[in-house]
Amino acid sequence: MSETVSIADPTMAIIIGVVLFGLMLLIVLVRRTTPAPAVPASATEKLVAIETRLTAVEHKVGTTEQSMHMLERSIASLPTQRSVHDLEKQVIALSGDMKAMAQESRATAAGVGRIEEFLFKASADALFPARNSDGSPSR
């Protein structure tokens, strides 16, 4: 199921803005780091200089494309607003289930406590029967 992402989504707008800012910064840095070519004397030297610059630009474009693909993959792997909301709903449901289980656990513990008390009393009565004032066992 493919989901369309709206520019109105603030998360996507921020991510796109950061990506565009990064690309613009990269372009500015490329222009500043590229030295100005010396003026060649002949047509052959001009052609060689152009080819050298073209090769350098092709290399920079290639690295820029690689960076763009990495950013696109990173953005594609980010969760959507809907999936984050669905996770939030699931966490809330689990929290409610855990509260209900805690209440049931307290009730069970109280019941087990009463059973233990009964068993202790029954075993004490069986081991140490009650005696009458004359010393005979009571019935």
Range 111-135 average pLDDT: 83
pLDDT digits (tens, 9 = 90+) for 60-83: 999 999 999 998 888 888 888 898
Q: How far apart are CA 111 and CA 117, in angstroms?
A: 10
Range 99-124 average pLDDT: 92
3-state secondary structure of 34: coil
DSSP-assigned beta bridge partners for residue 131: 137
Q: How confident is the model at residue 126 (pLDDT cuts 50, 70, 90)?
A: confident
Give the least confident one: 31-35, 82-86, 111-115, 125-129. 31-35
Residue 138 pLDDT exceeds 80: no
